[in-house]
Homo-oligomer: A and B are copies of this chain.
Amino acid sequence: LDYQHVQVPFEITLWIMLASLAKIGFHLYNKLPSVVPESCLLIFVGLIMGGIIYGLNDRSPPVMDSDIFFLYLLPPIVLDAGYFMPSRPFFENIGTILLYAVVGTVWNVFGIGFSLYGICQVRAFRLQDVSLLHNLLFGSLIAAVDPVAVLAVFEEIHINELLHILVFGESLLNDAVTVVLYKLFRSFCEMPTKSVDVFAGVGKFFVVGLGGVLVGLSFGFTAAFTTRFTKDIRVIEPLFVFLYSYLSYLTAEMFHLSGIVAIISCAMGMKRYVEANISLKSHTTVKYFMKMWSSVSDTLIFIFLGVSTIGENHEWNWPYICFTVIFCLVWRALGVLVLTFFVNRFHVNTITSKDQFIIAYGGLRGAICFSLVFLLPDFHRKKLFIAATTVVILFTVFVQGMTIRPLVDLLAVKRKRESAPTVGEQIHIRFLDHLLAGIEDISGHWGQYYWKDKLEYFNSKYLQKILLREYDQPKSSIVLLYEKLERKHAMELAQAGQLGHGLAHPSFLSNDRTVITDQKLEDTPNPDALDNMQEILARNLYRIRRTGPAYNRHTLPGDSEPAERAEEILILRHKNL
């Protein structure tokens, strides 16, 4: 037996195996996941495993290594989040998201830090030795909402898109603030003589955030450019998506920029071009593997969280820990109230008080705080901070995570619509975008539609020519959707064994149909309302679809009637306009 030799890969494989088997186990009992979020169950498994290890070895089980977390477990989750981010609601609400992520997080950090310092002044609690700086440092790591925890809970409760993107976007973009404040306070703690320069801090925030965006976008565009040349070796196409986005994360971390922001920009920047360049099978592989990887990382993180909780790393102080939980809740609620007040003054679609409650209540903490607290420099109260962080995480994940679903039901918060937008809606939205861009242009108001239009122009004029392999015929997204529907439909026909066995009527008007949405791997059923639109499309887009090579032996690609051709040119021209 030579265990030493294979130990590292063997144990890694076993951990991943455990995580995957745990996932299968939960899903075997259909009732369990609908009551308890998976994250809670996984932490529970981790707690049991930690208990077993503790019982057998009689010493604390190994703690999740912060390096492993930040270098290997976090990137897949963030990459998945960025790649499948619904870009439209994200960019429409980017102002609100940034306000919550930047101002809200700063508010929470200082709120929690100062009020905990106040608690420390109470003589009876025996906490006088915890300085203001240490409290602020603790505030900086406990204040930030955690994307992994938010994703795990919010994906299961199917909240409406606006709320989801507000909470989730905040949890992603607050990384830049957290990085700056955490490092700032840490360096002060280590060298307390330095003078505080607020402006340097603000400047640093912009460098960290915008630097991350820049690094991410440049890697994203390089990735898109690289996939231009992979036509002959399709098999390594998916690799580039993973390699470049991981490199963007590592590069950002190397320069002390925000890795999360970098990998998200990279994923969002490359997605559109990479999708157009790589083959359909490669894209399935990319999507599948991203989901798989992030889901395994996610599982491992929660199990490790559970395992790491067990042991003797904790110093228990009732008042400090209880007040930490209370302050986390109170300051977040206050912050959301105040910020939303300002947001609502400038927006037509206001955020209702129900929504505000869910935003405040959805501020879950997770593994990022946990890893940051272990990275703290050694000082005599570190174990207290670890205990407080653990309690806050467990409280938010268990109590808030488990009650948020009943609360959403109780408050009748608007849910996510289960169906994909119909083709009619898509056309309508498109039309309104163009209209509003035109109105903004005429009125001289440079709003979001104006900028979106300009960006789209820049994209089709320059970026697509550089980054896409076949840039001369960019297809409209509606045509693409239509093609997807056709493909899907063809597969159904083939499965039902009805292909070409003399169906007299146009098949497209006679069957149930399903739409493949980009956001989800699983197919969602589609309402009958689509039928009508598809009929119109089937008539109008008939010739456009014909621009690809026709595989029928009996008809030549070019022999359409002149009248039809005229119609085709007309439609094409419309599209280009």
Q: Enumerate chain A interface residues (CB-CB to B < 8 A).
A: 1-3, 5-6, 9-10, 13-14, 16-17, 20-21, 23-24, 27-28, 30, 67, 71-72, 226, 229-230, 232-236, 238-240, 243, 246-247, 250-251, 253-256, 281-282, 284-285, 288-289, 291-292, 295-296, 483, 486-487, 489-508, 510-512, 521-522, 542, 545-546, 548-554
Task: Give Cα A265 to B195, complex, Å.
Answer: 67
Q: At the interface, is chain A mostly helix, strand, loop or mixed?
A: helix
Is B254 a contact partner of A3 (Cβ separation < 8 A)? yes
- Chain B nearest CB from A358 CB (Å) reads 27
Task: Give Cα A285 to B282, complex, Å.
Answer: 8
Task: Give Cα A285 to B293, complex, Å.
Answer: 12
**Centre residue among A10, A291, A295 by max chain B CB count within 10 A:** A10
Neighbouring B residues of A548 by C-beta, 8 Å: 495-497
Neighbouring B residues of A251 by C-beta, 8 Å: 10
**Centre residue among A24, A234, A487 by max chain B CB count within 10 A:** A24
Neighbouring B residues of A30 by C-beta, 8 Å: 232
**Centre residue among A486, A487, A510 by max chain B CB count within 10 A:** A486
Is A496 a contact partner of B292 (Cβ separation < 8 A)? no
Please list 23 pairs of residues, one from A and one from B, whose beta carbons are closer than 8 Å in the complex, sorted by A's number: A9-B71, A10-B247, A10-B250, A16-B243, A20-B240, A24-B230, A233-B295, A234-B521, A234-B522, A235-B292, A235-B295, A281-B288, A281-B521, A282-B288, A284-B285, A285-B289, A487-B491, A489-B494, A495-B551, A497-B545, A497-B550, A501-B542, A510-B552
Task: Give Cα A502 to B502, complex, Å.
Answer: 9
Is A24 a contact partner of B226 (Cβ separation < 8 A)? yes
- Chain B nearest CB from A408 CB (Å) reads 23
Given A20-B243, A490-B493; 7 other pairs, CB 8 A cutoff: A10-B251, A23-B233, A236-B295, A281-B521, A285-B288, A502-B506, A512-B551
Task: Give Cα A21 to B229, complex, Å.
Answer: 10
